[in-house]
Structure 1
Amino acid sequence: MAIPINSDTVHTPPVPSATVMVVRDGPGGLEVLLVRRHGNSGVLGGVHVFPGGKLDMGDQQVGPSALDQPAAALVQSLGEPGLDLSTALGLHVAALRETFEECGLLLGQPGAVPGLVQQVRAHTRAGTGFVAALQQLGLPLAASCLLPWSRWITPRVPSITNKRFDTRFFVAPAPHGQVAEHCTFEATEAVWMAPRTGLERYWAGEIELAPPQIMTLSQFSRLRSVAQVLAAARSRPPALIAPESFDEDGCRVICYPGDPRHSVPERVWAGPTRLTYRNQRFEADGGLTALLG
């Protein structure tokens, strides 16, 4: 399935959003959770993505006392000067909420408690909000399990959608004893994959990936365990990634910090600094080998 390339300018500001790379140690090493969006979805239909979504107003109305980490620490972890408290807390809440809604995982919660996920789901299906459901069950909002990884801001001329997002990417370990189950309304599957396997399946045309997923899986392919992912997240501020695009030889090129055509000369990751849309997919210079490092 070819992804249609957009050339229209989007004049609205980017929508604040949160997404989570849930990681676990599998039999062969590091694995990350991907969900395949419904083909009729208005954003990235049919594409495998990390669970996540936009910041809702209710996410920003949660008081600092509801979270298991001091508000100042959560604001500082995002590394964004001037970011207001309600947005910083709301992004963490959105990350926890969207992961539960899209794949049934309660991040940071004790999976060994029998029926915990089912109890929360029963409350939300009855119309109780996610945060209120946790509070009624005496559960904290486990923001401490989320570590900021990167921040992606869609350019004014997006390449693969006609919408703009300001998305904070978090990493979180998979909760023990819980099973990922995709939301049948928003997705058609939830699957654990080794980062290298995800890129290999993408290259073989078996799955579709968007550029943020391609480049993030490329970074993860250089790591071997959950411990290494979490250590990498703690070792530096989250990378600010504002892709810049141009057309060259009839192909759309998306470049990232450190690329000769990008306005920011400093690299934010090892590996390729651009993707070119050809052969009905986004390819790195050097092909799959370059993505896998």
Structure 2
Amino acid sequence: PALPPVVSILAGTRVSPPEGAPPRPPPVPRDAATVLVVRQGAGDIEVFMVQRPARGDFPDLHVFPGGKVDDHDGELEHACHGLDDIEASRRLTLDGGGLRYWVTAIRECFEESGVLLAYRNGAMFEPRDEAEETRFEAYRNALAAGRTSLGEVVAAEGLTLATDRVAYFSHWITPEMAPARFDTRFFVAVMPPRQSARGHVRETVGGDWISPTAALKRFDADEWLMIYPTLKTLGMVRSYRTVQALFEAVSAGRHAIEVTPELHVQGMQYH
């Protein structure tokens, strides 16, 4: 399918608007967060990826679970474990409000993959039985439809958000030529044991586990559409053999994204 005009990654120059089109101010970027949920595969690390629906500004793309920051995401510091807004903002080099990106990442992860990064009674959350699985799937659907908030879910179930299990990864800003712009923080989290990941029928076309190498091969074969930050992220993750090594490196800030400063500022570009 035809892609909206964006930035030429190879030349590093902007794509010209259609001839005769009047200039228009670029959309203001919306704050967003996305999370790489990773697990150890048989040989390599695997990541959970979802496909966006055909509708919307970025149709059919394969991405990591994520979405826009919600107003309520900044109201849950009391429910976050091991991280407060001061430290979160320091890690993101913000004056304040950094913790809400972690909350967004956890909320969107639950909505789009069904994986809930939370603690119950001091242990990582896991459904006790089929009835509880059904109840939390109902929470997930209600969240996606805007009928409840993550704060209401954690309060009702006595949970705390596992913000200490979510590591800050990178920062990407959609270029001005894109039809919709996002100021997005990327995070990494290890798949909790005894939970399962699956795409949401409303939020995504589908979702599955895949190794970074296999995902990049699908892109090269024109089977998957992916944008520049996704490609660079997969390439970096591919360099690690184990989930533990990846998470430790990202948590300590030892990882590196191979982009020039100019491309980092321009951000979300089609390859």
**TM norm. shorter chain > 0.5:** yes
Identity of aligned residues (%): 32
Which of 63, 68, 89 is the equivalent residue of 1:75? Answer: 89
Which of 199, 204, 214 is the equivalent residue of 2:231? Answer: 214
Q: Distance in 1 between the 2:61 and 2:150 partners?
A: 26
Q: Distance in 2 between the 1:275 and 1:68 partners?
A: 31
Distance 1:10 1:211, change over 3 A: farther
Cα deviation 1:111-159 (Å, max 9, x = unaligned): 25335543333345563322211211111111111100001112223xx
Q: Distance in 1 between the 2:69 and 2:133 partners?
A: 22
Please state how far the C-alpha of 1:172 moved relative to its aligned partner.
0.2
Is this contact kept in 2: 1:68–1:144, CA < 8 A?
yes
1:3 aligned partner, one-letter code: L
Q: Distance in 2 between the 1:58 and 1:181 partners?
A: 25
SS of residue in 1 equivalent to 2:217: helix
2:153 is aligned to 133
What are the equivalent positions in structure 2 for 1:113-192 lying under 5 Å apart?
A: 113-115=128-130, 116-123=132-139, 125=141, 127-157=147-177, 161-192=178-209
2:46 is aligned to 31
Is this contact kept in 2: 1:10–1:163, CA < 8 A?
no
Q: Distance in 1 between the 2:197 and 2:263 partners?
A: 40
Distance 1:107 1:263, change over 3 A: closer
Is this contact kept in 1: 2:79–2:160, CA < 8 A?
yes
2:260 is aligned to 257
Which of 11, 35, 46 is the equivalent residue of 2:60? Answer: 46
Q: Distance in 1 between the 2:3 and 2:254 partners?
A: 32
Distance 1:118 1:10, change over 3 A: farther
Please state how far the C-alpha of 1:12 moved relative to its aligned partner.
3.3
Which deviates further from its counterpart, 123-132 or 27-36? 123-132
Distance 1:171 1:214, change over 3 A: same
Q: Distance in 2 between the 1:144 and 1:38 partners?
A: 31
**Greater RCO, 1 or 2 (C-alpha within 8 Å, sep 6+):** 2
RMSD value, Cα: 2.7
In structure 2, stretches of 5+ residues that fail to align are 7-14, 18-23, 119-123
Q: Distance in 1 between the 2:254 and 2:232 partners?
A: 18
In structure 1, stretches of 5+ residues that fail to align are 242-254, 265-273, 283-293
2:134 aligned partner, one-letter code: Q
